[in-house]
Amino acid sequence: MDTIIGQVVDNYKIIEVIGRGGMGVVFKALDLNLEKTVALKMIDPFLARDENFLRRFKTEAKALARLDNRNIVNVYALRETEFGLFMVMEYVQAKTISEWLREKGRFSIKETIDITKQILNAIGHAHKIGVIHRDMKPNNILLGENGEVKVMDFGLAKVVQEHGSQSTVTYAAAGTLYYMSPEQIKGLKNVDNRSDIYSIGMTIYEMLAGRSPFEKSESEFAVQKQIVEGKIPSLLKYNPIIPKDLVKFILKAIDKDADKRFKDISEMQEALSNIGYQEDHDVTRVVSKYEKTSNGESKNIVHSKKNKKLLIAVSVIVLAATFFFSYKIFFQKDAKVEKTITNDIKGNNSEVTKEVKQARLNITSNPSGAAVILNGEFYGKTPLLLDSLEVKNYSVTLSLNGYEEWSNNNYQLSAGENSINQNLKQVPAAANSTLSLNMDVPGNIYIDGKRYSVSANQFLTKNVFAGKHKVKFVNEKNIGEELTVDLKEKQNKKLNCYFNRQVSIQSLNEAGDSFWGNIFVNGNNTGIPTPGNITLEAGTHKVTVKKTGYTTVENEVSLKINPSFKEESLSLVFHLK
């Protein structure tokens, strides 16, 4: 599918891939008629061959196009082209809730309630016109910098069709395991809008806890058993400041018995509106840990009303103290202290002061403009100030074309201020061409027979002479790929060698509906349900889908993955009977 990047399809210029899933690939594209950026979801060619799936997808796409809500990603059109079936959707510049959680940690109570209101607005609208999402999770909720929520990916949605006086729909197990309701796990036919309510409840839980209630080390079966029969850990275990009413609200949403949950979104919205909380019991996520004072020094920001009162009290004392003492209090730049106001659920309020070890790193180079790479990740170019870093050892690399690369693989970052000021050595004028080489797994890269050990996705940049060079990439299993590169004077050649291949796997029942099963690779259960994506490294693998009481028509499929200089993906469809 990636081969269409740069091409014009049905008057849409394909720009880049912005997402992949079990159903297909999502591209960023430009509508040439309207000069507007859109998202194009292309259905996997393997699924497009299945007439039942294609018919169901078209029916659902038409229903989803009726969803007109500011908190739902809009569907504009459905196009059949020479490259397959496309859904034209609204392009949203935002991050998912999952990405925000990874970057900033758990959400504050206020943020969570504001976001939840918008989620309920979106799903409530969908339910009213008969659309059940069935895959609500943090990764399917976009959150913009302005706080606006957009619910996306109705790829597993079911449309409730009216037949006379009754609504009859056959549901297959679908969704993402951690957020699937007990009735979805059981594969019951009467899965309804309350399953979405359960998934929303689990999403709220994760936003406030900063993590899922399930341990990643647990097997798929263990998680399923916990969802259906076991006990979900108390939210207060991970975040003890949550008000009682909000805890009860979440517990009601994720009750194992669907009849004990909120009966619909409207009831859920009403309950949410009645939840009271005091903002000074809340912990607001700190986007930037530091703020400049009037004289240019840095001081820690404390986000809470009670903290502000404390600062006022401290200021009164400081006015009575000497100037030297006030200077020491307000402008010292040692280890920072962040105060968190906690609310004991039993009614006892207490204030906890916790020392947070943080570091700042100021990186400069001569000349400036060198790429800064920390632990294999690009952070920017010199001069660069990095704030709120964890105190630990880092691998630091400075790289600038025309200069020798500087590295320190064991740089100890201390609490407070740190600095690196490096004079880069210019390479001989004759060696003015550059090779930038990368592989997506650990291994060795050879340039003209000289070996360099590399980590996964850590670019190896070397200045070389113009002319031909033999380059070879070898993984830890001694599987490799090589080619000869012919460089001109001052040419910068960038090469990526891909040993991993993403494989999208879908399983269908005899009616052609998406049907949940377990993905097995080389006889081992991956713990990933269908539809899902797995990553296979170079080599030969046997892949299949299993589900108790069912067999696959295809049995095992043998896949041989070869290293490639082009990022590619594969798709497999299994039929269960």
Tell whether the model's pLDDT for residue 59 goes beyond 60.
yes
Q: From residue 366, how far is each of 382, 406, 408 by CA, in Å?
A: 9, 12, 17
User: From the candidates 31, 44, 135, 196, which is the catalytic residue?
Assistant: 135
Span of 232-241, 266-275, 347-356, 522-531 with lowest mean pLDDT: 347-356
Do residues 171 and 180 touch, judged by C-beta distance below 8 A?
Answer: no
Determine the average pLDDT of the residues in 345-356. Answer: 40
| Whole-angstrom distance, CA of residue 241 vs CA of residue 208 | 10
Tell whether the model's pLDDT for residue 17 goes beyond 50.
yes
Q: From residue 194, how far is each of 126, 134, 263 by CA, in Å?
A: 13, 10, 7
Domains (range + CATH), the chain:
2-90 (3.30.200.20), 95-277 (1.10.510.10), 290-355 (no CATH), 358-423 (2.60.40.10), 433-497 (2.60.40.1120), 500-575 (2.60.40.1120)
Which pLDDT value is given to residue 107? 94
Confidence band of 420 (pLDDT split at 50, 70, 90): very high
Determine the average pLDDT of the residues in 338-353. Answer: 37
Nearest to residue 336, comparing CAs of 235, 416, 452?
416
Which pLDDT value is given to residue 287? 34
Do residues 72 and 150 touch, judged by C-beta distance below 8 A?
Answer: yes
Which pLDDT value is given to residue 156? 56
Determine the average pLDDT of the residues in 63-92. Answer: 86
Q: From residue 568, how far is each of 165, 243, 475, 482, 565 by CA, in Å?
A: 49, 48, 18, 18, 9
Comparing 402 with 139, the larger pLDDT belongs to 139
Determine the average pLDDT of the residues in 319-347. Answer: 40
Nearest to residue 205, comparing CAs of 103, 104, 107, 114?
107
Most confident of 165-169, 315-319, 435-439: 435-439
Confidence band of 158 (pLDDT split at 50, 70, 90): low
Nearest to residue 529, comparing CAs of 174, 62, 271?
174
Tell whether the model's pLDDT for residue 62 goes beyond 80.
no
Span of 63-67, 140-144, 500-504 with lowest mean pLDDT: 63-67
Which pLDDT value is given to residue 23? 66
Q: Terminus-to-terminus CA distance in the chain, angstroms?
A: 29
Confidence band of 188 (pLDDT split at 50, 70, 90): low
Comparing 422 with 190, the larger pLDDT belongs to 422
| Half-sphere exposure of residue 234: CA atoms within 13 angstroms, side-chain side | 10
Tell whether the model's pLDDT for residue 331 goes beyond 70.
no
- Told to judge if 135 belongs to the known catalytic residues of this protein, a careful annotator would answer yes
Determine the average pLDDT of the residues in 237-261. Answer: 93
Sheet containing strand 460-464, strands side by side: 460-464, 433-439, 492-497
Span of 171-175, 442-446, 489-493 with lowest mean pLDDT: 171-175
Span of 32-36, 121-125, 317-321, 370-374 with lowest mean pLDDT: 317-321
Tell whether the model's pLDDT for residue 533 goes beyond 70.
yes
Determine the average pLDDT of the residues in 149-175. Answer: 52
Which pLDDT value is given to residue 184? 84
Which pLDDT value is given to residue 360? 85
Q: Structure pTM?
A: 0.51
Which pLDDT value is given to residue 46? 64
Confidence band of 148 (pLDDT split at 50, 70, 90): very high
Look at the alpha carbons of 374, 379, 381, 385 in this order and tell me if their dihedral is positive or negative. Answer: negative
Residues 200-224: pLDDT tens digits? 999 999 999 999 999 888 888 888 8
Which pLDDT value is given to residue 303? 37
SS3 label, residue 323: helix
Confidence band of 323 (pLDDT split at 50, 70, 90): very low
Question: Peptide bond preceding 383: is omega within 30 degrees of 0, i.e. cis?
Answer: yes
Tell whether the model's pLDDT for residue 136 goes beyond 50.
yes
Q: From residue 128, how far is each of 66, 123, 131, 166, 171 by CA, in Å?
A: 11, 9, 7, 16, 19
Tell whether the model's pLDDT for residue 396 goes beyond 50.
yes
Which pLDDT value is given to residue 311? 45
Span of 386-400, 488-502, 557-571 with lowest mean pLDDT: 386-400
Task: Supply 110's token pair.
Answer: 């206020």
Average pLDDT, the chain: 80
Which pLDDT value is given to residue 565? 93
